[in-house]
Amino acid sequence: MEMTGNTILITGGGSGIGRGLAEAFHGLGNQVILAGRRKGLLESVTAANPGMQSAMVDVQDPASPRAFARSMVEQYPSLNVLVNNAGIMKPENLREGAEDLSAIEATVATNLIAPLQLTLALLPMLKKQRRATVMTVSSGLAFVPMAQTPTYCATKAAIHSWTQSLRYQLRGSSVEVLEVIPPYVQTELMGAHQTEDPRAMPLRDFIDEVMEILRTQPEAKEICVKRVYPLRYAAEQGKYQEMFERMNGAMSHAE
């Protein structure tokens, strides 16, 4: 991926990893467009980063990603990088069953359906660019799930699988397909307390390492900071069950 001179659309760009990536790319001279559904949050980020743009989109609305893509094509004909970052993560008690499936439906819509729709809607334009990038943001939990958040982990595993297929189908085209695989990071994904959790990787450290990988390892297709290695490579190292039991056992004791 070229590190400057791009027009980059980042979903979920108002906070956390999305904002961190947006500010890092903006600082390198790229045109960055933040997409999200919290207007005040987006405006606060763009105000702090003159020249950055924002656009409202509710990815939980099934019709929204396609309509949003059409508007992006019209407003930003030079758009050549899509970062599918928007995501939600909610705990679920599967032991009790559920009459209200709203949390599950929202998670699948946000984490899986929306990025697929948006990518496919923007792909014809991306393929016309000299060089383009589709970047998905999955999770280390795609490889070793945290049982407390089963739907989140399942959607991230699906995104990982879909990203591999997209990369294969686009081989030989001008569009490269990258996957960022975060560990547990100090964001508000599971609430404000997560931003101070010492067990989580500081957001700035995570962003700095991701940008360094993008800069120095142009052949990398999976952007893995070292802190996510134990999850990402648990199965390859024959440690999957050990990692699964250790992580979920620790979570059970913390409840």
pLDDT (tens place) for every residue of the chain, 255 residues total: 999 999 999 999 889 999 999 999 999 999 999 998 888 899 999 999 999 999 998 877 777 888 899 999 999 999 999 999 999 999 998 887 766 788 999 999 999 999 999 999 999 999 999 999 999 999 999 999 999 999 999 999 999 999 999 999 999 999 999 999 999 999 989 889 999 999 999 999 999 999 999 999 999 999 999 999 999 999 999 999 999 999 999 876 555
Place of tokens 């309509």: 67
pTM exceeds 0.75, yes or no: yes
Task: Give the pair of three-digit tokens for residue 104.
Answer: 């599950």
- The Cα–Cα gap between 4 and 33 comes to 14
Sign of CA dihedral 203, 204, 208, 211: positive
DSSP-derived secondary structure letter, 194:
G
Query: Mapping DSSP to helix (H, G, I), strand (E, B) and coil, where does residue 140 land?
Result: helix
Report how far apart, in Å, the C-alpha atoms of 114 and of each of 87, 186, 226, 232, 235 are: 10, 24, 29, 24, 29
Q: Is 229 a catalytic residue?
A: no
DSSP-derived secondary structure letter, 196:
G
Task: Give the pair of three-digit tokens for residue 151.
Answer: 């739907």
Query: Is the Cβ–Cβ distance between 58 and 77 less than 8 Å?
Result: no
The rounded radius of gyration (Å) of the Cα atoms in the chain is 18
Q: Residue 206's closest CA among 182, 242, 188?
A: 182
What domains are defined for the chain?
A: 7-228 (3.40.50.720)
What values do phi and psi take at 101, rounded to 5?
A: -100, 15
* 127-76-203 Cα angle (round to 5): 90
From the candidates 152, 168, 233, 240, which is the catalytic residue? 152
DSSP-derived secondary structure letter, 87:
-
Query: Is the Cβ–Cβ distance between 89 and 104 less than 8 Å?
Result: no
The dihedral over CA atoms of 176, 223, 146, 36, expressed in degrees to the nearest 10, equals: -60
